[in-house]
Amino acid sequence: MSEQAASQRVYYTVFACLIGLTLLTVWLSFQELGEAHSVVGLGIAACKALLVALFFMHVLYGGRLVWILLGAGLFWLGILMSLTLADYLTRPWLAY
């Protein structure tokens, strides 16, 4: 696997987007958005994770097996998150 999946220009563009999203995250930390603060922050983090996975981990140019493994990993993450939230949401909270 000696061939490069994308040109250097693509990598620099993705890097610039990641820097921009990081600056947006820092700016967001100083804003008062109330309940939407976590949702917007997680949305930005998901965009950054998607860019890293697609370009720097070469998922975009990978074969079928890479996409199957990505889907399996996301499925496993969904299982773990649903079990964690099920535990968190069913705990009785004591008022002190």
Assign 3-class secondary structure to the chain. Answer: CCCCCCCHHHHHHHHHHHHHHHHHHHHHHCCCCCCHHHHHHHHHHHHHHHHHHHHHCCCCCCCHHHHHHHHHHHHHHHHHHHHHHHHHHHCCCCCC
- Banded model confidence at residue 87, pLDDT cuts 50, 70, 90: confident
Question: Taking 90 as the threshold, does the pLDDT of residue 91 lie above it?
Answer: no
pLDDT tens track for 28-80: 999 998 889 999 999 999 999 999 999 999 999 889 999 999 999 999 999 99
pLDDT tens track for 7-22: 899 999 999 999 999 9
- pTM of this prediction? 0.77
